[in-house]
Amino acid sequence: MIELRNVSKTYGKKKNEFRALDDVSLTIPDGASVAVVGKSGSGKSTLMHAASGLDRPEAGEIVIDGEDILQFKPRAVDRFRSETMSFIFQSFFVQGNETCYNNVSLPLEIAGVPLRERRAKIVKALKAVGLEEKLKSRARDLSGGQKQRLAIARAIVNDPKILFADEPTGNLDSVTGEAIETLLFEYNKKHKTTLIIVTHDPDLAKKCDMQVHISDGKIQKKTGAKS
């Protein structure tokens, strides 16, 4: 279970201070799929970064499985990022100079998975996104959609409990975008992974267990959830 309690995040100092998240509270049950929707600049990415422990909000608590990740020491934060959650970015962030295989291998190396166990996991992840043919291709030679699928393979290779996806389809045409979102959605259903996804696609948002509408750093309404 993920619980955000009165989370606030401000950018800039003094006169330029800007409140990107304003007293946000939210509860997400395990295995749920959550769609975060809102206008550009409303604070969706900021919310995702805070909830995933990549960024530090000034106020509030982020309790995941009973522990406030904001109180974690750096080592625990690293372990949380490596073992518990995965993040899919809006702009792929694959390593162009590395092969697909080595891109997907990185999270396993960071988690200290032994060499002999890696190959099977990598192949499985690449198969899941339909890139098993591109094992030895350099990531920079892939098309945009393939790069995003590679990023997904990298995100799911270590079986995360929580999967964050920040507009994973923002840079893609609508057909490819839908295909990729469906891929993530199916992964969530199949593996009982908590999926938190920023999306502009109303159809996908509707399919999710829960929809969170944000504007100006505040949650306007939550639909689909019991609370």
Partner 1 sequence: MKRLDIMKRAGRNLAQAKGRTFLTSLAIAVGAFTVTASLAAGEGARQYADQIIKSNVDPQSVYVTKESMRQNAAQSNGLKEYSENQSQYGGMSIEMLSSDDIASLKAVEGVDTVLPTYLIDAQYIQFQGIDTKYTSDITTYDSTVLAATAAGDMPPLGEQLAANEAVVPESYAETLGVSAQDLIGKTLTLHLVKTGKTPSETEIQAAFMAGGTEAVQALYLSESKDVTLTIRAVSAQSSTSFSASSAVFISDTKAEELANYLTEGTSSYQQYVSATVMVEDGVDIEDVKSTIKDSGLAALTAKDISGMIFTMVNVLQGIVFGFGVLALIASVFGIINTQYISVLERTSQIGLMKALGMPRRDVAKLFRYEAAWIGFIGGAIGAGVAYVAGTAMNPWITDTLTLGDGNYLLIFVWWQVALMIVGLMVVAIVAGWLPSRKAARLDPIEALRTE
Binding site for partner 1 (CB under 8 A): 49, 54-55, 74-75, 77-83, 87, 89, 91, 93, 95, 97-98, 102, 106-107, 109-112, 154
**Distance (Å, whole) CA 204 – CA 209:** 10
Which residues of this protein are in contact with ligand ATP, per CB under 6 A? Answer: 11-12, 18, 20, 38, 40-46
What is the nearest approach in angstroms of Mg ion to the Cβ of residue 175?
Answer: 22
- Which residue number, 141 or 186, has a Cβ lying nearer to partner 1? 141
**Distance (Å, whole) CA 125 – CA 113:** 15
- Which residue number, 107 or 177, has a Cβ lying nearer to ligand ATP? 177
Cβ–Cβ < 8 Å for 194, 181: no
What is the nearest approach in angstroms of ligand ATP to the Cβ of residue 44?
Answer: 4
Give the binding range for Mg ion (CB under 5 A) out of 44-52, 121-129, 146-154, 173-181.
44-52
Per partner kind, with CB cut-offs from 5 to 8 A, the member of ligand ATP, Mg ion, partner 1, none near residue 42 is ligand ATP
Cβ–Cβ < 8 Å for 34, 196: yes
For residue 83, count CB atoms less than 10 angstroms from its CB and return exposed for 0-12, middle for 13-18, buried for 19 or more.
middle
Amino acid at 114: P
Per partner kind, with CB cut-offs from 5 to 8 A, the member of ligand ATP, partner 1, Mg ion, none near residue 11 is ligand ATP
End-to-end distance of the chain based on CA atoms, in angstroms? 13
Per partner kind, with CB cut-offs from 5 to 8 A, the member of ligand ATP, Mg ion, partner 1, none near residue 12 is ligand ATP
Phi first, then psi, for residue 61 (nearest 5°) are -130, 145
What is the nearest approach in angstroms of ligand ATP to the Cβ of residue 36?
Answer: 9
167: number of CA atoms within 13 Å, CB side?
17
For residue 21, count CB atoms less than 10 angstroms from its CB and return exposed for 0-12, middle for 13-18, buried for 19 or more.
buried
- Which residue number, 63 or 110, has a Cβ lying nearer to partner 1? 110
Look up residue 92 and give its DSSP letter. Answer: -
**Distance (Å, whole) CA 96 – CA 136:** 12
What is the nearest approach in angstroms of partner 1 to the Cβ of residue 45?
Answer: 9
Give the binding range for Mg ion (CB under 5 A) out of 15-23, 38-46, 61-69, 110-118.
38-46
What is the nearest approach in angstroms of partner 1 to the Cβ of residue 92?
Answer: 10
Give the footprint of Mg ion on this chain (CB under 5 A): 45
